[in-house]
Amino acid sequence: MPKRGKNYKNIAAKIDKQKFYEPEEAFKIIAENPNAKFDESVELHVKLGVDGRHADQQVRGAMVLPHGTGKSVKVLVFAKGPKATEAEEAGADYVGAEEMAQKIQSENWFDFDVVVATPDMMGVVGRLGRVLGPKGLMPNPKSGTVTMDVAKALADIKAGKVEYRLDKTNIIHAAIGKVSFGEQKLEENFNALMDAIVKAKPAAAKGQYLKSVSVSTTMGPGIKVNAARLGN
């Protein structure tokens, strides 16, 4: 068990572990009780009643949050020719082709948060699957990161686009903002992402879809949120 600081314990003491809070109550607690000296991220954790091992029960997508995530994101774009120029003009942090793949492989270079690729570059990017995949960095058409419209992909990512996908335990983890956003903006981001997750319910999913929903700051305790009114 990690050693908990005084701030963590003080905040944890204000949270009833048996209670399911309404979203506005949960974000009020978070906004009024900063836990760290830096502006912490606020994270959403949703356990779903699906089995992600089956292709027809996968839940995955991406969306731009109403107020963004508050994070500055570094984007690597795999593209050539005019599309590489388009990426540079649209604000990509790094642009390249085979030489970027080589840099990742030979130097273990990962100074980026998101990878975008044009479809013709997926042969090159595919060879990086073993290193990009486990880090959740592999471009994917479903999340809009394999596209010919690199300018739009970059605009969305820089505006606060979040990807959501199941982990091995059928839980979605996603950042929905910073503590400094305040309760209203956090709640609006939360509602937007929860709506997307509910709409992404696979037809093959049976029984209760939203098993549990909680929110927390990077270093703070989790707060259980009432999922009953979020749709099931």
List, for residues 182-227, the tens digit of each pLDDT value: 999 999 999 999 999 999 999 998 889 999 999 999 888 899 999 8
Average pLDDT, the chain: 91
Cβ-Cβ contacts under 8 Å for 143 (sequence gap 6 or more): 60, 61, 62, 163, 165
- Report in angstroms the alpha-carbon separations of 138 from 87, 108, 117: 18, 15, 9
Per-residue pLDDT at 67 exceeds 90: yes
pLDDT at 1 over 50: no
Listed in sequence order, the residues at least 6 apart from 9 whose beta carbon sits closer than 8 Å to its beta carbon are none
3-state secondary structure 8-52: HHHHHHHCCCCCCECHHHHHHHHHHCCCCCCCCEEEEEEEECCCC
How far is the CA of 9 from the CAs of 3, 6, 33, 191, 218, in angstroms? 10, 5, 11, 28, 15
Rg (CA), the chain: 19
CB 93 within 8 A of CB 150: no
Distance CA 28, CA 211 (A): 23
- Residue 180: its pLDDT value, please? 93
User: Which residues are CB-contacts of 43 (< 8 A; sequence separation ≥ 6)?
Assistant: 173, 174, 175, 176, 215, 216, 217, 218
Taken in order of first residue, the domains within the chain and their CATH numbers are 6-59+166-230 (3.30.190.20), 75-158 (3.40.50.790)
Across residues 86-109, what is the average pLDDT? 96
pLDDT of residue 232: 58
> Does residue 82 register a pLDDT over 50?
yes
pLDDT exceeds 50 at position 112: yes
Strand partners, 46: 172, 213
